[in-house]
Structure 1
């Protein structure tokens, strides 16, 4: 049994196709098939049911894949140990970022990080929390920046900062004249929300439902971006909630639409998350240091109440 064979098994399990798996592994399809066949002969079991289209794992195959993933991840630790011993912070690092964090946080830290750690080749992708968790578990992401806590036993979290929720209320709205907003005054039925799949949407719903028993049936409008929500609100179609960092880019003429909450201020917890196997922790630590440094001067709120990003 070899690490290479286990790599091939994981590739086929992911792609459910020998040809596609071979392409991902940069080998010919016969080579990959032969190595997997050798492994099956060695173990005396069938890992893949080749009669199914697409190819499926057998019951024992599912257990083998889970163990193979752990073994392959552990094999990466050897290079990690060497890199940390040498004090080397470099190499490819795949980072996922959720959509409501990407446009505000990335410009704040990316240039500083690249300048401080030029040997790290960052590959950054915007993904939903659900996709991020899947890719971290499958080994296709080294880490991610997302709203937490996620309560996932396979994922570890390092808190970066707490980002308050801010009300964006247009003129003419029933709450516009309020200098500060109390959570119990919110009404989910006149709230503009992000589309399904955004954890910030789930946080807003959780916040409102903590005080009122309401259903999702009367939502007026949903959008894929916070910028669109702001424009819709400016048209008088409802109020919305913004993450604090998004308010820094609101046009000066529209600042009067921003209304803060009474304390404790509802907020989301933003963290670096990564697999429990803790690979490439020297780069995770470097990211945490840079982000914590740049965010410290941007968010000064202390008395906050963390709102769960998990759908209920």
Structure 2
């Protein structure tokens, strides 16, 4: 039994296809199939039911996969342990960032990080929070950046910053003449929201459920803040934006911005990783770079954190 054989088994279990698994393992399909067959012969049992389409795990195969994940994961960590002991900052480092954070945060830290740590092979994916949690558990990424708290016992969270909400209010809206917005005046019926899958949408719904008027008849959902801004300017409603999103607005659009009265509703943005993660030296380096840069951009302290976790309406 070899680590390589176990990696092949895990790939087939994930993709449920020998050809696709071999492509992801960078070997030929016959080579992968032969190694898995050798492992099955050594164990004296079948891991996969090849008569099913897609390929299915056998009953014992499910248990073998669970143990194989542990073995492969721990074997991968040997290099991490050595690197950490040596203080070496380099190697592959896989990062997932949620869509409502990536466009504004990535330009702030990416250039500085890759210049400071040229030996790090940073691989970045835009992922939803659920995808980040899943990939952290499966070892497909090392770290994520997402809105927190997540209330997940397998995930460690380290706060990077608190990002206030800002209103974008068109002239036709009832709140346009207000210099500041009170949370109690919000009505979710006239707030343009991001589509399902974005945790910032849950932030806003939870904000309105807790403090403002709440109604589940949402009229319009969109996929990007830029679209929401354009629709708002057409008089279709107000919207709420994360603070960093407002920094790149042109002078003309900034006249529509309205800050909240204190305490300002805000989202907590954290660097997150699985509790078994050992690339702490790389995580520390990433956090230090972001901390040093974001402090110069966001200096809010009197904020009230709004959860990104789905809450019961009206509670």
TM-score, with length taken from structure 1: 0.95
Work out whether residues 142 and 277 of structure 2, in 8 Å CA contact, stay in contact via their aligned partners in 1: no
Work out whether residues 188 and 213 of structure 2, in 8 Å CA contact, stay in contact via their aligned partners in 1: no
Work out whether residues 185 and 212 of structure 2, in 8 Å CA contact, stay in contact via their aligned partners in 1: no
Q: What corresponds to 1:274 in structure 2?
A: 273
Q: Distance in 2 between matches of 1:311 and 1:123?
A: 29
4+ runs deviating over 4 angstroms = none
SS at match of 2:237: coil
The alignment's C-alpha RMSD in Å is: 1.6
How far the C-alpha of 1:63 sits from its partner, in A, is 2.6
Work out whether residues 192 and 238 of structure 2, in 8 Å CA contact, stay in contact via their aligned partners in 1: yes
Work out whether residues 266 and 306 of structure 1, in 8 Å CA contact, stay in contact via their aligned partners in 2: yes
Q: Distance in 1 between matches of 2:52 and 2:214?
A: 45
Aligned ranges for residues 76-155 of structure 1 at < 5 Å?
76-155=76-155
Gaps of 5+ in 1: none
Q: What corresponds to 2:70 in structure 1?
A: 70
Q: What corresponds to 1:291 in structure 2?
A: 290
Aligned ranges for residues 1-312 of structure 1 at < 5 Å?
1-212=1-212, 214-217=214-217, 219-312=218-311
CA separation of 1:175/1:196 partners in 2, compared to 1, >3 Å: closer, same or farther?
Answer: same
Q: Deviations over 1:111-157 (max 9, x none)?
A: 11111101111111212112222222222211111111112233222
CA separation of 1:266/1:60 partners in 2, compared to 1, >3 Å: closer, same or farther?
Answer: farther
Q: Deviations over 1:180-202 (max 9, x none)?
A: 21111110000001111111111
Gaps of 5+ in 2: none
SS at match of 1:88: coil
How far the C-alpha of 1:212 sits from its partner, in A, is 5.0
SS at match of 1:192: strand
Q: What count of residue pairs does the alignment treat as equivalent? A: 311
